[in-house]
Amino acid sequence: MKRRRKGLFRRLIVFGALVLLTAIVLAGSLWSQTSSLSANEEKKAQLEKQVKKLNAKQADLKDEISKLKDEDYVTELARRDLFMSGNGEILFNVEKKSK
């Protein structure tokens, strides 16, 4: 009887150790997956912000493209930025006075 009880106790200890080991492995796996998930969520949030910025930039560039198709706008840019003149016009350089 003692022998049988001793064998039962040993099996119970081995089974408990296996359950404990399995629980530790599962907890470690859960921990690593949770940390990986939070890192991926942060990366997703950053990428979504970047997408919003790029979409806004794309809209600005499309607007600029449509403006550049207008001849009056291109002429105004050439006059302002490149100091170009129209036919029969003369450009004068005038210094601004500082107060």
Rounded-to-integer distance, Cα 25 and Cα 34, Å: 14
User: What torsion do the CA atoms of 49, 53, 54, 55 make, to the nearest 10 degrees?
Assistant: 100
How much is the mean pLDDT over the chain?
Answer: 91
Is 27 inside a domain boundary?
yes
| 69 pLDDT more than 90 | yes
Is 89 inside a domain boundary?
no
Is 68 inside a domain boundary?
yes
Rounded-to-integer distance, Cα 12 and Cα 19, Å: 10
Helix/strand/coil percentages in the chain, nearest 5: 80, 0, 20
Instruction: Report yes or no: 19 and 27 within 8 Å, Cβ to Cβ.
Output: no
Per the structure, the complete domain to which residue 54 belongs is given by 2-82
Work out how many domains the chain is built from and give that number: 1
Question: pLDDT for 9-27, tens place per residue?
Answer: 899 999 999 999 999 999 9
Is 9 inside a domain boundary?
yes
How far does Cα 75 stand from its chain's mean position?
39
Is 97 inside a domain boundary?
no
